[in-house]
Amino acid sequence: MSELEKFRQETRNWLEANCPPEMREPVRDEDDVYWGGRKASFKNDTQKAWFEACVEKGYTVPAWPKEYGGAGLNPAEAKILREEMSAIGARPPLSSFGIWMLGPALLHFGTEGQKQRFLNEIARGEIRWCQGYSEPGSGSDLVSLQTFGEDKGDHWTVNGQKVWTSYADKADWIFCLVRTDKNDKYRGITFMLFDMETAGVSTKPILLISGNSPFCETFFDDVDVPKSYGEDVPAYVGEINRGWDVAKYLLGHEREMISGADGGDRTSAIGAALKRQAGELDPVLRAELAMFDVDALAYSAMGEKFLDEIKVGKSHPAQPNMMKYAGTELNKRRHELMMSAGGSRALEWDSEETGGGKTSRNWLRTKANSIEGGTSEVMLNVISKRILELPGG
Amino acid sequence: MPLYHDDDQAMLAESANQFMAEEGAIAKQLRHWRDRDCKDGFGHGLWEQFGEMGFNGILVDEADGGLGMGHVEAGIVLEEIGRNLTPSPFLTSSVLAATALKHGSDDLRGRYLPGLVEGKSVFAVAVDEGPKHRPETITCKAERSGNGFKLSGQKDFVVQGASADMLVVAARTSGSDSDEQGITLFAVPRDAAGMSHDAVRLVDSSMATHTKFDGVELDGDAVIGEVDNGRAILNAMLDAGRVGSAAEGVGVARGAMDMTVDYLKQRKQFGTLIGEFQALQHRAAHLYSEVEIARAAVIKAQQLLDAGSERASLMASVAKAKVAKTAGLAVREGVQMHGGIGMTDEYDIGLYMKRDRALQEFLGDAYYHAGRVAELSGY
Ligand SMILES: Cc1cc2nc3c(=O)[nH]c(=O)nc-3n(C[C@H](O)[C@H](O)[C@H](O)COP(=O)(O)OP(=O)(O)OC[C@H]3O[C@@H](n4cnc5c(N)ncnc54)[C@H](O)[C@@H]3O)c2cc1C
């Protein structure tokens, strides 16, 4: 048996022994997902047991090095773990912006001290992070951001406002883009890390069209952020005034994640499932579903190809923008079709039969897919400039 | 298996790319034969060069004198054919007929494969009856007569039928028109008495025939595979051809897209390059995304066919439908973004539009294959 086959067998055995049956059922509600953090509580004991088993094994962040709380898996092993987990429908033990965004930035730019502290906290689900980039005047044109940190020697005093900060009210810490030099647009931003309980930080939830409130306005009112949290643990990632480099690096990760290229069933065909649900399908709707399934199955091949190419460095560095664009537009179409197949039942907003209006709320939520993390239009701009090398500023 | 070309495949791609750009170029082949009203629509000299390059043996087993490679490799050649609009019998002969002949007797393989591998023989495939691809229904009849069969009926859209040394014909030997079973494939030689071709030039300057079989006498050894059990071979042949035609379609799409993106970087209006207009940039970027995705679907389908996967038919239809939609978009955007010059015969972009149209229809269009995706998925 090859090393990898052995690993697959061990993984299968470990999952069999450690992943409780309830944790193999599809995620139904927001509280089926465990986000960790100081304010978090488990929905039940099985969720807790599954989470703790994964923490011990390093499987909350399987590809991170062991000394930072991961399992040190190489890409081939990580792929096997993903495949085996998805084969039994295992839920992710922990979801967080720390895993998806801050972690990769720290692995790339962080000091040893930062990695030791922050990565371990993320892997063990102790600290929940939020992302403070967007501002009322700076969305797509993020680099124009105004939130300002005044240099006070050993600390900055930060003033300004962020907006659309996902889960800011539930998060413990924020990674935040702050202007530290007003004279240099690109080289005047620092990527800061600070506690949301610091005096002067406040949040105000915003209600989405889906009726949920997963994001906030975040205000900074004379917030003092120390420049260091101890030896080799600076309060910023990368260098002072060079936070834009970190942000750009991280956006790549975010786009990959949102594009669904990391797996998940967003890219699978839906026609058969919707027919079971809707019974007889209107012939024109059936045709639309078939056309959708062609696109979804083709996109899923693209996702596989994209991951294969990334592994060996064959992918164009701007390709995640294409994946994000195509994947999110596809997902919006998927939910339009789910609404159509669902008929009047899908309109129900809070009935028990619909799990509290799941179909319609999810449909509305997907409209954000092509806005968050860079809009479709911005993705198309990047593709035309960086891949097709079309002219213009 | 990773979804990109390994080193050997990358080498093949490079040599196919070079060969087709030089020998198969639009001016040298497509326009040359078109402007001379060539009755074949392609050059036999180029076909022999295909043989010398080894292309024609890609899907032929080594024991039969071929290279014993797979659909990924055949697709590499087809993508370059598509990009250069190179007219040749490769798809019908080296992919479709070669796939059917894999199931043929020693005698049939010995009779036909050496000529194919050398680029001396041309084969055609006669499946469609009527203007749309509906292989579920086959009415062309082969009745037993003596030791052999008597073939009657008509086939349409027989690409290169009049140039072919042999036609693979799907006929009914038992049951009624739409039965799954009761199909037999025959290798019909060009000089068979009672076979007549009505040759027509198509929009892309390729040649096809409406072929009549008027009591054509065939020996029993003209049967490919088993009598009445030809459906599986037919399906295998069609799926190979669909994935092959999808690969050619990706080449057409890329060729049209590259030409168009180049044009956006050259043409000036209102004092700027038209490529600076965001309205055009976004459409070009959208097209790029679609072409990338279509290409991934094609490689996936090729790999599944080579692996003999049970999902191969589903993915063959996904690939054919996705490419049809994408290549259609590429040529329409191509003509539009060129403006007036795109409408001229002198400029090549229109040739891509014509070739795409013919490929769309060949072995089932996007609607047919999306419908097949639905059926194979159970709805
Ligand atoms: C659900 C959700 C969660 C989010 N979570 C976070 C978070 O956690 N942290 C965070 O910092 N941000 C978050 N965001 C913010 C998100 O990143 C921004 O909404 C996004 O970058 C777009 O900015 P904007 O909303 O200001 O829109 P604008 O930039 O004002 O865009 C408005 C419209 O103009 C178009 N447009 C803008 N510029 C161009 C151009 N150059 N060419 C063509 N069209 C253009 C856009 O595509 C869009 O259609 C979240 C957003 C949503 C919807």
How many other CB atoms are found less than 10 A from the CB of residue B11?
12
Nearest-CA distance B323 → chain A (Å): 10
- In Å, how far are A78, B133, B149, B305, B314 from B230, measured between CA atoms? 45, 18, 15, 19, 20
Q: Which helix (H) or strand (E) segment is B51 a member of?
A: helix B44-53
Nearest-CA distance B322 → chain A (Å): 6
Angle at B2 between CA B79 and CA B243, to 5 degrees: 35
Q: Which of B261, B267, B333, B377 to mutate to test binding with chain A, by most A CBs within 10 Å of its CB? A: B377
A164 within ligand 1 shell (Cβ under 6 A): yes
Fold designation for B125-228 = Butyryl-CoA Dehydrogenase, subunit A; domain 2 (2.40.110)
Q: Are residues A267 and A225 in the same domain?
A: no
Residue B141 is predicted with a pLDDT of 97
A378 within ligand 1 shell (Cβ under 6 A): yes
CB A36 within 8 A of CB A100: no
CATH of B7-121 among 3.40.50.300, 1.10.540.10, 3.90.420.10, 1.10.40.50:
1.10.540.10
Residue A270 forms part of a structural domain: yes
Q: Do A281 and B379 touch (CB under 8 A)?
A: yes
Residue A24 forms part of a structural domain: yes
Condensed to tens digits (0 to 9), the pLDDT of residues A330-346 reads 999 999 999 999 999 99
Q: Copy the structure tokens of residue A261.
A: 């290229």
Interface of B with A in 287-316 (CB under 8 A): 288-290, 292-294, 296-297, 299-300, 314-315
A134 within ligand 1 shell (Cβ under 6 A): yes
Nearest CA to ligand 1 atom 43: A377
Residue A138 is predicted with a pLDDT of 97
When divided into structural domains, chain A yields a total of 3
Residue A53 is predicted with a pLDDT of 97
Query: At residue A169, does pLDDT exceed 60?
Result: yes
Rounded to the nearest whole angstrom, what is the distance from the C-alpha of residue A91 to the centroid of ligand 1? Answer: 30
Supply the ipTM of this predicted assembly.
0.93
A29 within ligand 1 shell (Cβ under 6 A): no
Question: Which regions of chain B carry the CATH code 1.20.140.10?
Answer: 232-376
Residue A154's domain comprises 129-242
Nearest to A322 among B3, B289, B367 (CB): B289
Q: Are residues A295 and A215 in the same domain?
A: no
Q: Do B370 and A312 touch (CB under 8 A)?
A: no
Residues of chain B contacting residue A383, judged by C-beta atoms under 8 Å apart:
285, 288-289
Q: Are residues A272 and A383 in the same domain?
A: yes
Nearest to B4 among A298, A309, A381 (CB): A309
Output the domain CATH number for residue A66: 1.10.540
Nearest to A298 among B4, B322, B377 (CB): B322
Question: Which regions of chain B carry the CATH code 2.40.110.10?
Answer: 125-228
Q: Nearest-CA residue of chain B relative to A320?
A: B289
Q: Copy the structure tokens of residue A322.
A: 């294409």
Confidence band, pLDDT 50/70/90 cuts, at residue A268: confident
Nearest to B374 among A293, A384, A389 (CB): A293
Residues of chain A contacting residue B264, judged by C-beta atoms under 8 Å apart:
390
Q: Do A392 and B273 touch (CB under 8 A)?
A: yes
Angle between helices B349-361 and B312-338 (to 10 degrees): 150
Q: Nearest-CA residue of chain B relative to A298?
A: B297
- In Å, how far are A199, A267, B154 from A327, measured between CA atoms? 40, 8, 46
Nearest CA to ligand 1 atom 35: A377
Q: Which helix (H) or strand (E) segment is A208 a member of?
A: none
Question: Which regions of chain B carry the CATH code 1.10.540.10?
Answer: 7-121
Between CA A281 and CA A275 the distance in angstroms is 6
CB B236 within 8 A of CB B183: no
Residue A1 is predicted with a pLDDT of 72
- In Å, how far are A140, A324, A333 from A328, measured between CA atoms? 17, 6, 9
Residue A121 forms part of a structural domain: no
Nearest CA to ligand 1 atom 1: A368
- In Å, how far are A70, A82, A287, A290 from A284, measured between CA atoms? 49, 37, 5, 10
Q: Are residues A269 and A383 in the same domain?
A: yes
For chain B, which ranges sit under pLDDT 50?
none
Nearest to B318 among A271, A298, A326 (CB): A298
Q: Which of B268, B272, B274, B373 to mutate to test binding with chain A, by most A CBs within 10 Å of its CB? A: B373
Residue A265 is predicted with a pLDDT of 47
Interface of B with A in 312-371 (CB under 8 A): 314-315, 317-319, 321-322, 325, 366-367, 369-371
Residue A321 forms part of a structural domain: yes
Q: Are residues A47 and A166 in the same domain?
A: no
Residue B230 is predicted with a pLDDT of 97
Residues of chain A contacting residue B256, judged by C-beta atoms under 8 Å apart:
none
Of residues A42, A54, A48, A49, the one with CA closest to residue A99: A54
A367 within ligand 1 shell (Cβ under 6 A): no
Q: Are residues A312 and A343 in the same domain?
A: yes
CATH H-level superfamily of B232-376: Butyryl-CoA Dehydrogenase, subunit A, domain 3 (1.20.140.10)
Q: In this structure, which amino acid lies at residue A365?
A: R
Going by their DSSP bridges, the two strands B223-224 and B183-189 should be labelled as antiparallel
Of residues B93, B90, B68, the one with CA closest to residue B81: B90
Find where tokens 């669902």 sit: A342
A102 within ligand 1 shell (Cβ under 6 A): no
Rounded to the nearest whole angstrom, what is the distance from the C-alpha of residue A142 to the centroid of ligand 1? Answer: 9
b/e B343-376 (16+ beta carbons within 10 angstroms → b) = eeeeebbbbbbbbbbbbbbbbbbbebbbbbbbeb
Residue A43 DSSP label: S
* CA neighbours closer than 13 Å in the CB half-sphere of residue B232: 9
Q: When comparing pLDDT for A219 and A78, which is higher?
A: A219
Q: Which helix (H) or strand (E) segment is B199 a member of?
A: strand B195-201
Residue A34 forms part of a structural domain: yes
Tally A–B CB contacts below 8 A: 143
Please give the sequence-ordered ranges of beta strands (E in DSSP) within chain A, or none if there are none.
129-132, 148-151, 155-166, 173-179, 189-195, 201-206, 215-226, 236-237
Mutate to test the pocket of ligand 1, among A128, A146, A161, A372 (most ligand atoms within 8 A of CB): A372
Nearest CA to ligand 1 atom 2: A372
A138 within ligand 1 shell (Cβ under 6 A): no
Residue A289 DSSP label: H
- Average of per-residue pLDDT values in chain A: 93
Sign for the pseudo-dihedral over CA of A129, A135, A140, A142 = negative
Nearest-CA distance A153 → chain B (Å): 45
CB A140 within 8 A of CB A374: yes
Output the domain CATH number for residue A307: 1.20.140.10
A67 within ligand 1 shell (Cβ under 6 A): no
Confidence band, pLDDT 50/70/90 cuts, at residue A310: confident
CB A250 within 8 A of CB A189: no
Of residues B183, B288, B195, the one with CA closest to residue B228: B183
Q: Are residues A280 and A345 in the same domain?
A: yes
End-to-end CA distance of chain A: 55
As a residue count, chain A comes to 393
Q: Are residues A306 and A354 in the same domain?
A: yes
Confidence band, pLDDT 50/70/90 cuts, at residue A261: very low
Confidence band, pLDDT 50/70/90 cuts, at residue A256: low
Residue A264 is predicted with a pLDDT of 43
Q: Do B378 and A272 touch (CB under 8 A)?
A: yes
pTM value is: 0.93
Find where tokens 């709805």 sit: B379
3-state secondary structure of B273: strand
- In Å, how far are A80, B277, B353 from A263, measured between CA atoms? 12, 35, 36
Query: At residue A253, does pLDDT exceed 90?
Result: no
